[in-house]
Structure 1
Amino acid sequence: MEPMNEIAEKLKLLGDKTRLTMLTLLKEREWCVCEFVDIFDMSQPAISQHLRKLKSQGIVNESRRGQWVYYSLNVDDKPYIQAVLNEMPGSQEVLSSMNKEVNCTCN
Protein backbone atom coordinates (compact mmCIF):
# COMPACT_ATOMS: atom_id res chain seq x y z
CA MET A 1 0.00 0.00 0.00
CA GLU A 2 1.14 3.50 -0.77
CA PRO A 3 2.19 5.80 2.07
CA MET A 4 -0.64 7.88 3.49
CA ASN A 5 0.78 11.18 2.14
CA GLU A 6 0.83 9.85 -1.45
CA ILE A 7 -2.75 8.63 -1.19
CA ALA A 8 -3.85 11.97 0.27
CA GLU A 9 -2.18 13.87 -2.60
CA LYS A 10 -3.92 11.71 -5.20
CA LEU A 11 -7.29 12.03 -3.51
CA LYS A 12 -6.86 15.83 -3.32
CA LEU A 13 -6.88 15.88 -7.12
CA LEU A 14 -10.37 14.35 -7.06
CA GLY A 15 -11.59 17.31 -4.99
CA ASP A 16 -11.65 19.42 -8.15
CA LYS A 17 -14.97 18.99 -9.99
CA THR A 18 -13.39 19.20 -13.45
CA ARG A 19 -10.77 16.55 -12.69
CA LEU A 20 -13.33 14.29 -11.00
CA THR A 21 -15.59 14.62 -14.03
CA MET A 22 -12.68 13.83 -16.37
CA LEU A 23 -11.88 10.68 -14.40
CA THR A 24 -15.55 9.69 -14.36
CA LEU A 25 -15.66 9.95 -18.15
CA LEU A 26 -12.40 8.02 -18.44
CA LYS A 27 -13.97 5.06 -16.62
CA GLU A 28 -15.59 3.91 -19.85
CA ARG A 29 -13.10 4.83 -22.57
CA GLU A 30 -10.09 6.95 -23.45
CA TRP A 31 -10.67 10.55 -24.43
CA CYS A 32 -8.80 13.04 -26.57
CA VAL A 33 -7.85 16.45 -25.24
CA CYS A 34 -9.92 18.07 -28.00
CA GLU A 35 -13.04 16.26 -26.74
CA PHE A 36 -12.46 17.56 -23.22
CA VAL A 37 -12.03 21.10 -24.60
CA ASP A 38 -15.52 20.86 -26.12
CA ILE A 39 -17.13 19.18 -23.13
CA PHE A 40 -15.79 21.54 -20.49
CA ASP A 41 -15.83 24.75 -22.59
CA MET A 42 -12.26 25.40 -21.47
CA SER A 43 -9.13 26.28 -23.37
CA GLN A 44 -6.77 23.53 -24.45
CA PRO A 45 -4.03 24.80 -22.07
CA ALA A 46 -6.47 24.70 -19.12
CA ILE A 47 -7.53 21.13 -19.97
CA SER A 48 -3.90 20.11 -20.41
CA GLN A 49 -3.05 21.56 -16.99
CA HIS A 50 -5.71 19.41 -15.31
CA LEU A 51 -4.53 16.32 -17.19
CA ARG A 52 -0.89 17.07 -16.40
CA LYS A 53 -1.70 17.01 -12.68
CA LEU A 54 -3.50 13.68 -13.03
CA LYS A 55 -0.68 12.24 -15.11
CA SER A 56 2.00 13.41 -12.66
CA GLN A 57 0.30 11.36 -9.93
CA GLY A 58 -0.01 8.31 -12.19
CA ILE A 59 -3.80 8.45 -12.31
CA VAL A 60 -4.01 8.72 -16.11
CA ASN A 61 -1.92 7.47 -19.01
CA GLU A 62 -1.16 9.55 -22.07
CA SER A 63 -0.67 8.37 -25.64
CA ARG A 64 0.04 10.47 -28.70
CA ARG A 65 -1.51 9.68 -32.07
CA GLY A 66 -0.38 12.12 -34.70
CA GLN A 67 -1.16 15.59 -33.40
CA TRP A 68 -3.69 14.37 -30.82
CA VAL A 69 -3.10 13.26 -27.25
CA TYR A 70 -5.41 10.64 -25.74
CA TYR A 71 -5.83 9.89 -22.05
CA SER A 72 -6.91 6.71 -20.30
CA LEU A 73 -7.49 5.77 -16.69
CA ASN A 74 -4.61 4.21 -14.75
CA VAL A 75 -6.09 3.21 -11.39
CA ASP A 76 -5.80 -0.58 -11.31
CA ASP A 77 -3.25 -0.24 -8.50
CA LYS A 78 -5.23 2.51 -6.72
CA PRO A 79 -8.30 0.85 -5.14
CA TYR A 80 -9.14 4.00 -3.16
CA ILE A 81 -9.62 5.93 -6.42
CA GLN A 82 -11.49 3.02 -8.00
CA ALA A 83 -13.86 3.06 -5.02
CA VAL A 84 -14.66 6.74 -5.57
CA LEU A 85 -15.14 6.28 -9.33
CA ASN A 86 -17.40 3.26 -8.78
CA GLU A 87 -19.85 5.61 -7.07
CA MET A 88 -19.90 8.07 -9.97
CA PRO A 89 -22.54 7.99 -12.72
CA GLY A 90 -21.87 6.72 -16.24
CA SER A 91 -20.56 8.97 -18.98
CA GLN A 92 -23.95 9.36 -20.70
CA GLU A 93 -25.49 10.62 -17.48
CA VAL A 94 -22.57 12.98 -16.87
CA LEU A 95 -22.75 14.39 -20.40
CA SER A 96 -26.53 14.77 -20.22
CA SER A 97 -26.26 16.69 -16.95
CA MET A 98 -23.81 19.04 -18.67
CA ASN A 99 -26.05 19.33 -21.76
CA LYS A 100 -23.18 18.02 -23.87
CA GLU A 101 -22.77 15.55 -26.70
CA VAL A 102 -19.52 14.06 -27.88
CA ASN A 103 -18.49 15.41 -31.26
CA CYS A 104 -14.94 14.26 -31.80
CA THR A 105 -13.06 16.37 -34.30
CA CYS A 106 -9.79 14.57 -33.62
CA ASN A 107 -9.77 12.27 -36.60
Structure 2
Amino acid sequence: MNVLTTKERTFEEASQHLKIVGDKTRLKMLAILYKDECCVCELVEIFQMSQPSISQHLRKLKNADIVIERRSGQWIYYRLNENHPWFDQLESIIKTLPDTQPLLNDLLESGKRVCCD
Protein backbone atom coordinates (compact mmCIF):
# COMPACT_ATOMS: atom_id res chain seq x y z
CA MET A 1 0.00 0.00 0.00
CA ASN A 2 1.35 3.41 -1.02
CA VAL A 3 0.65 5.83 1.80
CA LEU A 4 2.07 9.33 1.34
CA THR A 5 3.37 11.27 4.29
CA THR A 6 2.06 14.78 4.86
CA LYS A 7 5.21 16.29 3.34
CA GLU A 8 5.04 13.99 0.31
CA ARG A 9 1.37 14.84 -0.13
CA THR A 10 2.20 18.56 -0.02
CA PHE A 11 4.86 18.13 -2.71
CA GLU A 12 2.43 16.08 -4.81
CA GLU A 13 -0.27 18.76 -4.49
CA ALA A 14 2.20 21.53 -5.35
CA SER A 15 3.42 19.59 -8.36
CA GLN A 16 -0.11 19.04 -9.68
CA HIS A 17 -1.02 22.68 -9.07
CA LEU A 18 2.06 23.93 -10.91
CA LYS A 19 1.43 21.58 -13.84
CA ILE A 20 -2.06 22.98 -14.30
CA VAL A 21 -1.06 26.64 -14.08
CA GLY A 22 2.20 26.06 -15.98
CA ASP A 23 0.46 26.00 -19.35
CA LYS A 24 0.91 29.44 -20.95
CA THR A 25 -2.69 29.66 -22.15
CA ARG A 26 -4.09 28.75 -18.75
CA LEU A 27 -1.66 31.10 -17.01
CA LYS A 28 -2.74 34.00 -19.23
CA MET A 29 -6.37 32.99 -18.68
CA LEU A 30 -5.83 33.13 -14.92
CA ALA A 31 -4.22 36.55 -15.21
CA ILE A 32 -7.31 37.74 -17.11
CA LEU A 33 -9.67 36.18 -14.57
CA TYR A 34 -7.68 37.83 -11.80
CA LYS A 35 -8.83 41.17 -13.26
CA ASP A 36 -12.48 40.21 -13.82
CA GLU A 37 -14.76 37.28 -14.41
CA CYS A 38 -15.34 36.27 -18.04
CA CYS A 39 -17.56 33.96 -20.01
CA VAL A 40 -16.26 31.48 -22.55
CA CYS A 41 -17.22 33.67 -25.52
CA GLU A 42 -15.12 36.54 -24.16
CA LEU A 43 -12.13 34.27 -23.72
CA VAL A 44 -12.64 32.86 -27.22
CA GLU A 45 -12.43 36.42 -28.54
CA ILE A 46 -9.34 37.32 -26.49
CA PHE A 47 -7.41 34.15 -27.33
CA GLN A 48 -8.74 33.72 -30.87
CA MET A 49 -9.15 30.02 -30.12
CA SER A 50 -12.07 27.68 -30.59
CA GLN A 51 -14.76 27.44 -27.94
CA PRO A 52 -14.00 23.74 -27.28
CA SER A 53 -10.33 24.56 -26.71
CA ILE A 54 -11.13 27.37 -24.26
CA SER A 55 -13.66 25.13 -22.51
CA GLN A 56 -11.07 22.38 -22.13
CA HIS A 57 -8.64 24.77 -20.43
CA LEU A 58 -11.41 26.03 -18.15
CA ARG A 59 -12.44 22.47 -17.33
CA LYS A 60 -8.92 21.66 -16.14
CA LEU A 61 -8.84 24.80 -14.00
CA LYS A 62 -12.31 24.11 -12.64
CA ASN A 63 -11.52 20.47 -11.85
CA ALA A 64 -8.54 21.70 -9.84
CA ASP A 65 -10.88 24.16 -8.08
CA ILE A 66 -8.67 27.05 -9.23
CA VAL A 67 -11.59 28.73 -10.99
CA ILE A 68 -15.24 28.72 -10.06
CA GLU A 69 -18.30 29.47 -12.12
CA ARG A 70 -21.35 31.63 -11.76
CA ARG A 71 -24.45 31.05 -13.85
CA SER A 72 -26.48 33.96 -15.19
CA GLY A 73 -29.34 32.68 -17.31
CA GLN A 74 -27.84 30.50 -20.02
CA TRP A 75 -24.37 31.95 -19.54
CA ILE A 76 -21.58 30.77 -17.27
CA TYR A 77 -19.00 33.23 -15.98
CA TYR A 78 -15.65 32.09 -14.61
CA ARG A 79 -13.48 33.71 -11.97
CA LEU A 80 -10.58 32.80 -9.75
CA ASN A 81 -11.40 30.88 -6.61
CA GLU A 82 -10.02 33.10 -3.86
CA ASN A 83 -10.62 30.30 -1.35
CA HIS A 84 -8.29 27.87 -3.12
CA PRO A 85 -5.47 26.79 -0.78
CA TRP A 86 -2.86 27.94 -3.33
CA PHE A 87 -4.53 31.27 -4.16
CA ASP A 88 -1.85 33.36 -2.44
CA GLN A 89 0.91 31.65 -4.43
CA LEU A 90 -1.06 32.01 -7.64
CA GLU A 91 -1.70 35.68 -6.94
CA SER A 92 2.03 36.23 -6.38
CA ILE A 93 2.78 34.66 -9.76
CA ILE A 94 0.06 36.64 -11.55
CA LYS A 95 1.37 39.93 -10.14
CA THR A 96 4.71 39.29 -11.87
CA LEU A 97 3.04 38.85 -15.29
CA PRO A 98 2.18 41.52 -17.85
CA ASP A 99 -1.04 43.40 -17.13
CA THR A 100 -4.03 41.82 -18.89
CA GLN A 101 -6.39 44.76 -18.29
CA PRO A 102 -5.71 46.10 -21.82
CA LEU A 103 -7.14 42.84 -23.23
CA LEU A 104 -10.37 43.40 -21.32
CA ASN A 105 -10.40 47.07 -22.33
CA ASP A 106 -10.01 46.11 -26.01
CA LEU A 107 -12.87 43.66 -25.64
CA LEU A 108 -15.04 46.38 -24.15
CA GLU A 109 -14.11 48.94 -26.80
CA SER A 110 -14.94 46.45 -29.57
CA GLY A 111 -18.38 45.90 -28.05
CA LYS A 112 -17.68 42.27 -27.23
CA ARG A 113 -17.13 42.57 -23.48
CA VAL A 114 -20.80 42.11 -22.67
CA CYS A 115 -21.71 39.84 -25.57
CA CYS A 116 -23.42 37.33 -23.31
CA ASP A 117 -25.92 39.61 -21.63
User: How far apart are residue 32 of structure 1 and its match?
Assistant: 0.9
4+ long deviations beyond 6 Å: none
Partners in 2 of 1:81 and 1:38 — Cα distance?
24
The 5 A counterparts of 1:1-107 are: 3-76=10-83, 77-78=85-86, 79-93=88-102, 95=103, 101-102=106-107, 103-104=112-113, 105-107=115-117
Rounded Cα–Cα distance in structure 2 between residues aligned with 1:28 and 1:39: 14
- Report the count of equivalent residues: 103
Structure of higher CA gyration radius: 2
Note the alpha carbon deviations across 1:10-34, whole angstroms, 9 max, x for none.
1111221110010001111111111
* Fraction of identical pairs, as percent: 47
CA distance in 2, matches of 1:74, 1:27: 9
- Whether contact under 8 Å (2:35, 2:101) holds in the other structure is no
Q: 2:53 & 2:37 partners in 1: Cα distance?
A: 19
AA matched with 2:101: Q
Give 5+ residue unaligned stretches, structure 2. 1-6
Report if the CA contact (8 A) 1:75-1:82 is conserved: no
Q: How far did 1:91 drift?
A: 1.8
| Alignment check: 8 A CA contact 1:24 1:85 kept | yes
Q: CA-to-partner distance for each residue in 1:39-75, whole Å, 9 max, x for gaps?
A: 1111111111000000111100011111211001014
Change (3 A) 1:11 1:75: farther
Q: Structure 1-normalised TM-score?
A: 0.84
Greater fraction helix: 2
Partner residue of 2:3?
A: none
Deviation at 1:87, TM superposition (A): 1.0
Q: Secondary structure at the match of 2:12?
A: helix
